[in-house]
Copies of this chain bind each other. A is one copy, B any other.
Amino acid sequence: MRISELARRTGLSAHTLRFYEKQGLVSHRSRSESGYRDYDETDLRRVEFVRAARNVGFSLEDIATLLSIRVDKNSHSCEEVAGITRRKLAEVEARLRELRSMKKTLGILLDSCCGGPESAVHCSIMEALEHGQLSGPMSEPAGPVHRRANASVRQA
């Protein structure tokens, strides 16, 4: 199959597939005479693996590692795989703590503010930001828990 069919079947864009190829995540068995990438079912399964891992929040770097394990499972242990997963979970949890703290503060701000068409001169949100006794910066900012920007919202 060619790239656009693979794109259709995986829900990724052809752009993204080529990008993943550049990153060494995805490849193709061969090329057609005219130079088109030619994918088979094995390639498809690999891309689906990438997609599944990405949906769980793994970075492309993590995914590269997972793929290298995948192609030679005998030489790798559950420990490795679980380690990567545990690390990602810790990142996600750290980010969750940050966001929960933000959510709480934002909620308090909103509750304190009338939100009406009155002048902002006495706005309690502005006041709170001025004399910021709003919960501090939460020790160490968490590591990267990567955002999927606008994946799969390809428009024509």
Contacts and interface: CB of A to CB of B under 8 A. Distances in A.
A117 interface: yes
Contacts of A136: 55
Which secondary structure characterizes the binding site on chain A?
A: helix
Chain A interface extent, by class:
35 or more
A85 B73 contact: no
Contacts of A118: 77-78
Contacts of A149: 141
Contact of A109 (B56, B83, B141): B56
A2 interface: no
Interface of A: 45, 48-49, 51-53, 55-57, 66, 69-70, 73-74, 76-83, 85-86, 88-89, 92-93, 95-96, 99-100, 102-103, 105-107, 109-110, 113-121, 123, 125-126, 128-130, 132, 134-137, 140-141, 144-145, 147-153
